[in-house]
């Protein structure tokens, strides 16, 4: 199977994630969509590592996983703190700051 297929799949996953961030309302789901984007980048990186014959891409994918884990810790803490006050994780309800 040609490597292009993996790149196309990764691009589709990235797009699904980006559209999800824009249209979904629940902060947790938005966050999951961002994780999907990061993982599609990992697939891209590993594919390019294969096609360019360098190891950098695979190493970077590990770094991305670690960063994504750190982001989960920080993100869930923030979403939890707002949920405990509002009893809702909808990004539409967080509308005190505007104009």
Partner 1 sequence: MIEAPDLSLSALSPFLFVFGAALVGVLVESFAPRHVRQPTQVALALVGTVGGFACTLLLAGRGEVTAAGALAVDGAGLFLQATIAGLGALSVLLFAERALDPARSAFVASAAVPAGSPRDRELLTDERVQTEVYPLATFAVGGMMLFVAANDLLVMFIALEVLSLPLYLICGLSRRRRLLSQEAAVKYFLLGAFASAFFLYGLALVYGATGTVQLAGIRQSVTDDGTGTLLVLGLGLLVVGLMFKASVAPFHTWTPDVYQGAPTPVTAFMAACTKVAAFGAILRLLYVAFGTADWTWRPLVYGIAIVSMVVGAVLGLTQTDVKRMLAYSSIAHAGFLLTGVIGLDAGTGSGLAATLFYLLAYGLTTVGAFAVVTLVRDGDGEATALAQWAGLARRSPLTAAIMTFLLLALAGIPLTSGFTGKFAVFRAAIEVGAWPLAVVALVTSAVAGFFYLRLVVLMYFSEPAEDGPSVGVPGLPTTIVLAVTVAATLVLGVVPGSVLDLADGAARLVG
Please state, in angstroms and rounded to a whole number, the distance separating the CA atoms of residues 77 and 95: 19
Closest to partner 1 by CB, 1 or 65? 65
Closest to partner 1 by CB, 1 or 56? 56
Chain contacts with partner 1 (rule: CB under 8 A) = 7, 14, 17-18, 21, 27, 30-31, 34, 37-38, 40-41, 44-45, 47-48, 51-54, 56-57, 59-60, 63-64, 67, 70-71, 74-75, 77-79, 81-82, 84-86, 91, 94, 96-99
Closest to partner 1 by CB, 1 or 74? 74
Please state, in angstroms and rounded to a whole number, the distance separating the CA atoms of residues 82 and 5: 41
Chain-centre distance for alpha carbon 74: 14
Please state, in angstroms and rounded to a whole number, the distance separating the CA atoms of residues 85 and 90: 12
Tokens describing residue 83: 């949920």
């Amino acid at each position: 199977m040609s490597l292009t297929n993996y790149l196309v799949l990764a691009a589709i996953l990235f797009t699904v994630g980006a559209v999800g961030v824009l249209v979904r309302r629940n902060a947790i789901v938005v966050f999951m969509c961002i994780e999907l984007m990061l993982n599609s980048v990992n697939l891209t990186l590993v594919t390019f590592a294969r096609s360019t014959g360098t190891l950098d891409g695979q190493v970077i994918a590990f770094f991305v996983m670690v960063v994504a884990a750190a982001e989960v810790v920080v993100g869930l803490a923030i979403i939890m703190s707002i949920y405990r006050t509002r009893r809702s994780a909808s990004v539409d309800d967080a509308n005190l700051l505007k104009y």
